[in-house]
Amino acid sequence: MDALAASLSKSAVSHDESLEREFEQRLADCPKLAYRVALGVLHNAAEAEDVAQEAMLRAYRSFNRLRERERFRAWLVRLTFRLALDRVRSKGRRERHERAAMEERCETSIEHLVTSREFERQVARALDELPEKLRIVMVLAAIEGYNTREVANLAGLPEGTVKSRLFLARKKLAESLQCLVKNIPVG
Amino acid sequence: MTDAAIGELRAGREPELLSHAMECEPCREALSHAMRVRELVERGVESLVEGEPSPQFVAHLRRHIAQGPRPVEFYWARWALVAPGALALALLLILVIGRMPRYNGPSPITSRLKPSPSSPGVAAAPDATRLNARASVSGRASESLPHAHKATAGLPHIIVPEGQLIAAARLSEAINSGRVDGTQLVVTQRDADKPLEVNPIEITPLDPPPTPDDEEKPAASTEF
């Protein structure tokens, strides 16, 4: 009986060690991916790092429950995206006030729109207005120039769906940024 | 033009669009605008996701991992969930089996009623020979009771008077199943050898007959 318990605990320890090693390998590239996904939603470096930390921590704690370890990156992307969206929702009224102020500036002071910082804000606002399913493919496509197949793998969607969603997302973004483009000098 | 603006122009269409734009001023301007939109959208979103986590990111993560609870191995977690249920089920089974009535061979009454060559069936039915109406419990009783044969299989034949076969079979079944304590029956049988004592029965007198005055009054119980 003692021998059985000892062998079981030994196998459990070795299993834990192998899990630790496997997770350690993921630590090489996955934090960057999680951080960028969070940044694409939150547009704030500190908050994005917080969310990426949380996502990685949750991923570690649930790592042994993941059946397909090769799908870890896709799993992490979706987890991070969800956590980032939750963070955005919890921001509440303060965020809405800031947006309203930004929209007002868009209509009144055109010269501000040409500056790079303002432009970034406008793109962020336009991106935030996209539906979630379009936003995630747009963010993933922008991260290190992932192609449609890679985005499909990460988002867990068929390639055709990714293509159509990218099309729609770009179209909506282009519509949102029309006023901005008109005021940018050609060349 | 919209497809060109979002970078989804179909293969082979781009030269066609460009050659047309060279000749058509409005289309050239529209295409130029579309290209700027496309570039801005791409650059804008890329700029939003540009960046690296801080150099301390992994160190912080390791610290959080070290501080927090270790992940529970799913194999053990599954057993931890299943084990209490299995234990509860085993206990329930033990309780149910412990409460079930047991039959450990023939009951005292049936062992006492074993037929002997000198007085067959006397113990069960002393007046059976006098009535000259004998039958076998395991024979005719099993015809009227579907499970009587099963209950009396392997037991000695008991001769009882006609008309009491079913009762005898039921009694036998009750003894075998443990619902009736055989020892008490033996005691009762011993008491049966004593002469009967006749106790006077006290009879309560009936109500007196109703008088004419009572008949005039309507009975309360008949009123609805």
With cut-offs at 50, 70 and 90, classify the pLDDT of residue B78: low
Look at residue B214 and tell me whether its pLDDT is greater than 60.
no
pLDDT band at B128 (very low <50, low <70, confident <90, very high): very low
How does residue B131 score in pLDDT terms, banded at 50, 70 and 90?
very low
Q: What is the DSSP string of B64-116?
A: HHHHSPPPPPHHHHHHHHHHHHHHHHHHHHHHHHHHS----SS-HHHHHT---
pLDDT of residue B122: 42
Cβ neighbors of B149 (< 8 A, separation 6 or more) are B138, B142
pLDDT computed for residue B141 by the predictor: 44
Mean pLDDT, chain B, as a whole number? 68
Q: Please state whether A123 falls in left (phi above 0), alpha (psi between -120 and 50) or beta.
A: alpha
Q: Which of A65, A40, A63 has the alpha carbon at shortest distance from A51?
A: A40
- What average pLDDT does the segment A16-32 reach? 79
pLDDT band at A52 (very low <50, low <70, confident <90, very high): very high
- The candidate with the shortest Cα–Cα distance to A78, out of A41, A114, A47, is A41
Residue of B nearest to A65 (CA): B74
Rounded to a whole number of angstroms, the distance from the CA of B91 to the nearest CA of chain A is: 23
Q: Is the domain defined by A1-91 classed in CATH 1.10.1740.10?
A: yes
CB contact under 8 A, A49 and B57: yes
Q: In terms of pLDDT, which residue wins out, B76 or B81?
A: B81
Beta-carbon contacts of A37 under 8 Å, excluding residues fewer than 6 positions away, are A52, A77, A80, A81, A84, A136, A139, A140, A143, B49
Domain with CATH 1.10.10.10 in chain A: 95-187
CATH 1.10.1740.10 domain locations along chain A? 1-91
Q: Are B49 and A36 in contact (CB under 8 A)?
A: yes
Give tens-digit pLDDT for B143-187: 444 444 554 455 556 677 777 888 888 888 888 888 877 777 665
Task: Say whether pLDDT at A111 is over 70.
Answer: no
Distance from CA of B51 to the nearest CA of A (A): 7
Interface of B with A in 36-75 (CB under 8 A): 36-38, 40-42, 44-54, 57-58, 60-61, 64-65, 68-75
How far apart, in whole angstroms, are the C-alpha atoms of residue A112 and residue B124? 116
Residue B220 has pLDDT above 70, yes or no: no
Nearest to A66, CA basis, from A83, A50, A79, A52: A79
Of A127, A137, A132, residue with least CA distance to A162:
A137
Task: Grade residue A36 by pLDDT with cuts at 50, 70 and 90.
Answer: very high
Mean pLDDT across the stretch B39-56? 84
Residue where the block lists tokens 């008309």: B163
Residue spans per domain, chain B:
2-49, 108-192
Fold of A95-187: Arc Repressor Mutant, subunit A (1.10.10)
What local confidence, expressed as pLDDT, does residue B189 receive? 57
Structure token digits, residue A161: 């769906």
Mean pLDDT of B63-75: 70
**Is A43 a residue whose pLDDT tops 60?**
yes
Distance of CA B11 to CAs A11, A160, B8, B72, Å?
A: 57, 17, 9, 52
The reported pLDDT for the residue numbered B148 is 46
Give yes or no for residue A20 having a pLDDT over 70: yes
Contacts of B64 in chain A (CB under 8 A): 53, 57
- Which range among A95-99, A132-136, B21-25 shows the weakest confidence by mean pLDDT? A95-99
User: Using CB atoms and an 8 Å cut-off, which of residues 165-184 of chain B contact chain A?
Assistant: none
Q: What does the alpha-carbon distance between residue A80 and residue A42 come to, in Å, rounded to a whole number?
A: 11
Span A150-172, pLDDT tens digits: 899 888 899 889 988 988 898 88
Which chain A residues are closer than 8 Å to B30 by Cβ? none
